[in-house]
Structure 1
Amino acid sequence: MQVLKHSDGSVSYTILWPDCSVDEEADSYLRVHEGSGSQKTYAYSLVDHMRWRIQEGLTTKTITFLDLKRYMGAVGAHVPIPFGRPWRVPPQRPYGGSALQVAAACLKGFYLHNCARLGVNDELRAALDANRLPTKADRNRSVVGHVKKAMPANPLAPTNPPRRRHPKMLPDGAKPTLRGAVNTARDAMVVQWLSDTSLRIGGLTGLHLVDLHLRDNAPCNECKSPHLHVCHRQTNLNRSRAKIKQDWETVDGVITGGEIYRVSPAMISAYFQYMTTEYQKYATGHGMLLIQLAGPNVGAPWSADAARGMLRRAGHRAELPGRIKPQAFRHQITNDVLDHADGNPMVAKVVGNWASAQMVDEVYGHPDLHSPEFVDALETIWGERE
C-alpha cells in the first residue's frame, strides 16, 4: 500500500505491485472513496485480498461468488486452507467480527465497481447485487422509508456477527494516578481533557486554537457554556483527523458546527497552565493546540500516536494494570454518565456524541455485578434480605 501526500496537505491511498506500478483496479475503486476515512481501511483490506487472489490464480474476470465466500471464511479462520491453516497465519490474527463486516463491504464495492467498469463477470455482479426486505429500523432512518420495497444487502457479510462486548474501562483510581504520573503541563492537560469529556484521541490531537470557545456565551451561539468544536480536517500537519465528519465552517473568524463538547473548569485550568508555560515557549505558529516539547521537531504539532505512547508510559510509571488506551477514557465517562442518569441512554449518547442511544444501551446498559441495585436484588432472591 502506498500513501500519497498532496500539495494541500491531505493524503490518499493506493496499492502498488512489487515493480512499483499502480494496480489499476484497486486504484480505480479507492479513488471513489478519496477524502473519506474509509479509503485507508479499504486499502488494507484490498492488500490482503489481492495477495490471496494472486496465490489462487484468480482475476476479476474469473473469480466467482463461491471464491469470495471461501476467502471470507479464510480470513476469518472459519475455512481451513491446505495443511489446516487459515489464510492469515501468525503473527497475523484472523479478522474479528467488525473487520469481517468491513472486508465484506469492501469486496462487494470493489467487484461491483470493476465488473461494471470492465464489462466482465455478469454472474458475480448478479450474485453480489442482492436485496432484502426493509426492517423497522430501516424505515425509521428514512423519511420515505415506508415506501421502500427493498434494501441493499451484502451476501458476503457474516450471517451471525458477534454481539458487542462491554468495553474495557480504566483501572480503579486511574485518573488521579495518571495526573500525578505525567511529566509536563501538556500531558497533564491531555489526561484532564480525556477524563472530563468523551473526546477521541484523533479529535483531541487535531484541535486548533480557534476550535476552543472557553468562555460563556461564545460568538458561535451554539452552546452558552464553555465548549470546543471538533472539526474534521484533511490537512492537519500531524495527520490527525476527527472520526465524525460533521459540517463546519468559519464565519468572520469564528468556528461553527462540527462535534461540540462541553468543557469543565478543570479543563480550562489545565489549558491555561499549558498555554502560559510550554506552549508559549515552544509553539511555532501553526495554530494547533498540542505541540511536541522535545526532539528535532520541537514546537511542531503532536501526533495521536505520540499521545498514545505518553499514556502508555504514564500508566507504566503509575504501576496501573494493563495498557492505558485513550478510548478507555471515552468508555469510562459514558459508563459513569449512564450510571448517574438513571440508565437513560439518551443522556449518555449526547455526552459521548455516540451514533445512537440504542448502541449506548446495548453496549453499556447492563447492570454492574457490584452495583447496589444488583446486589440488593440478588441477595433478596437468595433469602439473605427480607
Structure 2
Amino acid sequence: MRSGMVLGDLRVQKLTRSGGGSSYTILGPDASVVGEADDFLREYDGRGTQKTYAYHLVDHLRWRQREQLTTETITLRDLHRYMGAVGANVAMPFGQPWRTPPKCPYNASALQVTASCLKGFYLHRSGLGVNPALGVALAVRRLPTRADRDRSLLGHTLTSVSANPLAPKSGPSRRHPKMLPDGAAVELLAAVTSARDKLVVTWLSDTALRVGGLAGLHLVDLHLRPDAGCGECKSPHLHVCHRPGNPNEAAAKTKPDWRFRDGVVSGGEIVRVSPAMISSYFEYMTTEYQSFASDHGMLLIQLFGLARGEPWTTDGVRGMLRRAGKKAALPGRIKPHAFRHTFTSAVLDASGGDLLVAKTAGNWSSVKTVDEIYGHPDLHSPEFISALRQVWGEEE
C-alpha cells in the first residue's frame, strides 16, 4: 500500500452489464461513485479504453488527494509534476515518486496513455465550467506534420492539429520488440506436460495470435478442414471474433464485424492454421477436452481444481508460460506477446522483407507499423556484413 494512503482508498469498480459486457467506474472510500470520474468514463462505455483510463485516472486522483488538490484548484504545473512523479522527464522538482517498485515508473507507452487520459478528463470538466483556465492551457494546437496530413481525409487543408502539453517528448519512431529466446518454442514444448499447454505453445508459435484472442476462441471459430463453409479461406483457418461477454472475460483486441449464420462463423480476423496446430488440436480434443469440458463451447479449459472444465483465463495462460519458461531455464519472463513479435519477424525474414506479407500474416493494422517495429536489418546477416565490407573497400 502507498505511504499516506489508508484502507477505503479510491478504487476502480467493474460493473457487469446485462448483455454480458463490462463497464468501469471509480468509487470513493464510502463506496459511493466519484461523480466527475464516472461522467468522464461514461464517454468510453463499451470500449476497451474505458478500463485503461479508469486505472490511470484512479492513480492520478489518489495522488491529487495526497497533494490536497481538487479539480477546481489544480493547475497545468501540477499536472506536469504528476507526470514527473510517474516517470516522465520534466524540467522541475516534482517531489517524491508516486508509484513504488515494481510498478514505477510508467513506461513510455503508459506515459502517453496517462497524458491523454488527464487531458481528456480536465477538458471534460472544463467544458462543464469547472476550472476553465486549465481547459484553456490544455487546449493547445500545433502545426501539422506530414504524418498528420496523411492520416486526414483532407490533409492538404490542415492548418493546425490538437496537441497535448502533458505528453512526453517522443523519441525515435523505431521500436525494438521483445523476442523469444532462440529455440524457446522447442524448449517450452518439452517443458509442458498437458495436451492443452502444448496446444497453446504451438498455436502461439505458429501464428500472431494475441493471448486475448486465443483464450477467447470458441470451437465454432475453428475451420480446420479445407473449403470451410464460410467461403472466406480455402485453407484451414480460424476466425478471431470479439465477444465482450465471454465467461472467462477474454476478448480479441480488434473488433472487425463477424456473424454466426446457419451454424457457420464468418468475418472477424482470419488466421491461417499450420499442420502442427491441427495435430495439437486433435490430441487435446480427444483427451483432456473430451474428459473435462462442460457445454460452454470455448476452446481452452481449466484442467484442475473446482473450476475444472470451465473456460481458461488469459491470466492462466500467462502463468503457465511463466512456469514453463522457468522449468526450461529460459532467460527472462516468457510472455504471450513475445510469440507474436517472434512470428512476425520470422515471416518478414522468410518473405525476403516483404512488409505486406508480414502485415497480412500477423493481422497488423498497417504496413507502417510492421516497418517501424521489424523493418530493420539483421546486424549479423550475410547481406548486411557484405554491404559494410563493400563500403569499407574490403570487397569488390
Code of the residue aligned with 1:111 in structure 2: it is Y
- 1:102 pairs with 2:113: yes
What is the identity, as a one-letter code, of the residue corresponding to 2:35? E
Equivalent residue for 1:360, pick from 362, 370, 388 = 370
What's the CA shift string for 1:13-53, capped at 9, x where partnerless? Answer: 11111121111111111111111111111111111110121
- What is the distance in 1 between the residues matched to 2:200 and 2:260? 25
Question: Match for residue 186 of structure 2?
Answer: 176
User: When the two structures are superposed, what TM-score results if normalisation uses the length of structure 2?
Assistant: 0.91
SS at match of 2:271: strand
Partner of 2:84: 73
How big is the shift at 1:385?
Answer: 5.0
* Alignment of structure 1 residues 202-213 onto 2, 5 Å: 202-213=212-223
Determine if the alignment matches structure 1 residue 122 to structure 2 residue 125.
no
Q: How does 1:1-386 map to 2 (within 5 A)?
A: 1-79=12-90, 85-117=96-128, 119-161=129-171, 163-380=173-390, 385=395
> Residue 290 and residue 127 in structure 1: after superposition, are their counterparts in 2 closer, same or farther (change >3 A)?
same
1:49 maps to amino acid: H
Local SS of the residue matching 2:329: coil
State the 1:380 CA deviation. Answer: 4.7
Distance 1:60 1:383 in 2: 65
Going from structure 1 to structure 2, the CA distance change for 1:158 and 1:146 (only over 3 Å counts) comes to same
162-171 vs 286-295, greater mean Cα deviation: 162-171
Identity %: 64
Question: Is the deviation greater in 218-227 or in 278-287?
Answer: 218-227
Report deviation, 1:375. Answer: 2.6
Distance change (3 Å), C-alpha of 1:92 and 1:267 = closer
Secondary structure at the counterpart of residue 15 of structure 1: strand
AA of the residue aligned to 1:31? R
Query: Which deviations, in whole Å up to 9, do the C-alpha atoms of 1:315-367 show, x marking residues without a partner?
Result: 22222222211111111111111111221222111111112211211211111
Residues 1:222 and 1:139: Cα distance change in structure 2 (over 3 Å): farther
Aligned-residue offset at 1:277: 1.3
**More moved, 153-162 vs 340-349:** 153-162
TM-score, L = length of structure 1: 0.93
Worse-superposed segment, 280-289 or 56-65: 56-65
Q: Runs of 5+ in structure 2 lacking a partner?
A: 1-11
SS of 2:27's equivalent? coil
Which stretch has the larger CA shift, 232-241 or 68-77?
68-77
- Equivalents in 2 of 1:92, 1:317: separation in Å? 26
Between the aligned partners of 1:49 and 1:162, the Cα distance in structure 2 is 28
Task: Report if aligned partners of 1:60, 1:115 keep a CA contact under 8 Å in 2.
Answer: no
Query: 5+ unaligned residues in a row in structure 1: which ranges?
Result: none
Residues 81 and 93, structure 2, Cα contact 8 Å, conserved in 1: no
Deviation, structure 1 residue 256:
2.0
| CA deviation vs aligned residue, 1:80-125 (integer Å, no higher than 9, x gap) | 757x6323244431122111110011011111112223x2222222
Task: Count the aligned residue pairs.
Answer: 384
Distance in 1, matches of 2:130 and 2:28, equals 22
